[in-house]
Chain A
Amino acid sequence: MKNRKKLTLLQKRSLMGYLFIAPWFVGFLVFYVRSIFQTGQFALSELTMDTVGGGYQLTFVGLENFRYALFAHASFKQVLTTSVVNMLIDVPLITFFSLFMAMLLNKKFPGRGLVRAIFFLPIILASGAISEAMEMSATVMNGGISNQAAETAASAGQTIAFSVDYLINMFTSLGLPASLLDYIIEAVARINDIIAASGVQIILFIAALQSIPGSMYEVAKIEGATGYETFWKVTFPMVMPHIITCVVYTIVDSFTESEVVDLAYKTAFDEFNYGLSSVFSLVSTVIACIILVVICGAIQKRTFYYN
């Protein structure tokens, strides 16, 4: 008797659970599952819009759209490669920059509230139209507006080569590999983008750092570990699980703002080639997912879980 009653309570609870997640589940089925299925369908067909009712007809064309996108389209492969390369450059930079910044912001110092407020501004300011306009006005800080023309005329690469020529020469003569130098130079040139893109990640890492028990640092101190050792032996392993969250967020974020999305959007709504646009979306999503799985798998193997 007692057993039966307990079971009904459990069943009630699980019914309640379904009720709580029901709105999301309906939305997920209607907007995501159905949409992904449809995108696949579009990619395999040629789609013609009705001029009147807004309906559409699908003509099955097989892999024709894929063939066109991958072998005949003028810019798709190039745009895709640029987006992927940019992403691969950005992900480690953003991750380490935001971890570093989170560690600085996590310490106690006067005016911490103000500095934190400034650091979260990029989340607010990161809007397509606004951020583009802001990049332009960043150059204004170098002098009056009349300088702007000269600034824009000289490409970013040239300006940097001009101003830090001496440093670069010095590093090359020190025997640093050219590829590493290129990476560092590119990183410095992109510092604006990187700071703008790491607002959310800094928040994630601050939350992660605060969840590390203070007793670990006490032990490290008693055992006589230096700050450097403490970082690599305590802080880094402890935030490792959160690095995955951070990397996933960065990859998704940089992909949704990349040029591939723009290209897919333009193909669909300016050229009205829906089938091709679906192919662009699908291919870029699959590539993003592969990159996600590979990177997360690689990190996951080295991840240390405390609990």
Chain B
Amino acid sequence: MNKASAKNVRSVKHYVEMARETLQNPDKTKSFLNDIKNFVLLIGRIAILVGVSYVILSPVIGMLVNSFSSNKDAYNPMVFVLPEFPTLERYSLAILRMDYFPTIAKDLLYSGTITLLQLLVCSMVGYGFARFQFPGKSILFGCVVVMIVIPTHTIMLPLYMTFRQFDPLGIVSLITGGSVNLMGTVIPMYIMTLLGCGVRSGLYIYIFNQFFRGLPKEIEEAALVDGCGVWYTYFRIMLVNAMPSVITVAVFSLVWQFNDTFYAQLFLISENVVISKKIATLQSVIANQDKILDQPIQELYRDAGIILVLLPIVIIYLILQKNFIEGVERSGIVG
């Protein structure tokens, strides 16, 4: 494998030399043909990767260009990729209208705390399924799989009702004489996450379960012999060893929570906390408040807004990227 890739990266000059050599020595023809084949395959692979990367990146590049271009550039068909009169005006207005810094701080706090809860609860449940034998385990784990498979929209109405008149076991109505309306707050999301039913919690439980099952039992036995309790073993030994899957789940959870609009809409969570709701209305807000009625120009502001929303999550992703990918590969995410 290594030998082949070493061959692949030989310079063109080398191939020219080899061609000359081959013409003088017909015995080498076969290996020469082989080299040509490898070279063509390499070119093909690069072409595909570059092409697909372009498809992924092009909208991002397009938005970046838009967010920097001025009104003149927007209507100049000659402008391509590099705006002639770059401006930061799009960003300043988008920041103002989205109330960017307070909102993003609140959103990151919200998504971050939810992610921590997800990590704690899902790893605990995953550990419980992976390392303990108890009656009915396989049926219960089947329920986890069912939870992954059932689309959330099937249960959205009852969820709405549950939190619209929140009254667990009649305790609230016993104290205050009526149920509590939790709509418009972030509390429903915290409650659901705490009970292991947050955004894609089933998937995280599955990932943690697979990972804990792959860890050697000897670690735990050693801990037990040394007089370690079950909780201490879980927190200080197993969770530390499960770092790759912790990072994987952390990134998935943070990204999906940050991007989530489904639960945010369902629970009517204020758009001062969830910035992905603000981005949806940014264009109309700018059109109404700043009397910018030209649609292509409105879209420039929207693009600047999207870049602003993506920025923190992309930065976090780039920092964790290396760990994240290694984490996925080592976490045994698939059965």
Contacts and interface: CB of A to CB of B under 8 A. Distances in A.
A288 B49 CA distance: 33
Interface string B60-90: 1111011001000111111110000000000
Contacts of B63: 133-134, 137
Nearest to A199: B56
Interface stretch (A31-39, A61-69, A229-237): A31-39
Contact of A281 (B48, B156, B276, B302): B156
Given A14-B133, A30-B195, A146 B325 contact: no
A298 interface: no
A260 B153 CA distance: 9
Interface string A251-284: 0100110001100110010000010011001101
A123 interface: yes
A144 B205 contact: no
A31 B279 contact: no
A195 B52 contact: yes
Nearest to B281: A129
Contact of A16 (B161, B230, B306, B314): B230
Nearest to B331: A207
A31 B75 CA distance: 52
18 contacts: A20-B129, A23-B121, A24-B197, A39-B154, A109-B8, A119-B52, A119-B53, A121-B60, A128-B276, A139-B62, A141-B58, A192-B55, A195-B56, A208-B334, A210-B329, A248-B148, A277-B157, A284-B151
A123 B296 CA distance: 27
A125 B56 CA distance: 10
A124 B153 contact: no
B170 interface: no
A30 B197 CA distance: 10
Interface of B: 1-2, 5, 8-9, 45, 48-49, 52-53, 55-63, 65-66, 69, 73-80, 121, 124-125, 127-129, 131-135, 137, 140, 143-144, 146-162, 164-165, 178-179, 181, 192, 194-197, 201, 205, 230, 234, 252, 255, 259-262, 265, 276-277, 279-280, 296, 299, 302-303, 306, 309-310, 313-314, 317-318, 321-322, 324-325, 328-329, 331-335
B310 A125 contact: yes
A133 B75 contact: no
A123 B257 CA distance: 12
Given A32-B197, A137-B59, A143-B80, A206 B137 contact: no
Given A123-B255, A124-B259, A145-B75, A16 B125 contact: no
A154 to B, nearest CB: 17
Contact of B181 (A25, A54, A139): A54
Nearest to B309: A130
Contacts of A289: 149
